[in-house]
Amino acid sequence: MGHYVYILKCNDNTLYTGYTTDIKRRVKEHNNGSGAKYTRGRTPVELYYSEEHKDKSQAMQREYQIKQMSRQQKLKLIKGELDE
C-alpha cells in the first residue's frame, strides 16, 4: 500500500495539502463534501500534485514540510522548479 502526499487546487484558487493511501478515493471524497472541512465549501477540487512515500511516517513528515511552504514555494514544487 502506498502512502501519498497530495496538493489540490480548490475552486477558489487556494491550495490544500493532505495525506492518503488512495488518491482517487480521497479526491472523490473532497469533491463529495466528505473530505477535509477546508475543502467542503471550495469544490470542485482538482489534483495538482502528488508524491508517493514508502511509509506513513515519511509521508506525514513530508506533508508537514509542504504545509510550511509559502504558496509560491508550493507552486514551484508543483512545476518541478523547487530546489530542496
**pLDDT for 84:** 60
pLDDT tens, residue by residue, 23-77? 999 999 999 999 899 999 899 999 999 999 999 999 999 999 999 999 999 999 9
What residue numbers bound the domain in which 71 lies?
Answer: 3-79
Instruction: Determine the Cα–Cα distance for residues 70 and 34; give it in Å rounded to an integer.
Output: 26
Q: What is the secondary structure of 23-34 as a DSSP string? A: HHHHHHHHHHT-
CATH of the domain at 55: 3.40.1440.10
Q: Give the residue among 31, 28, 68, 27 at the shortest CA–CA distance from 49.
A: 27
Residue 20 falls inside a structural domain: yes
| Domain-embedded: residue 84 | no
- The number of distinct structural domains making up the chain is 1
**DSSP of 45-65, one letter per residue?**
-EEEEEEEESSHHHHHHHHHH
Whether the predicted pLDDT of 83 surpasses 80: no
Is residue 21 included in any domain, yes or no? yes
- The percent of the chain in helix, strand and coil, each rounded to the nearest 5, is 40, 25, 35
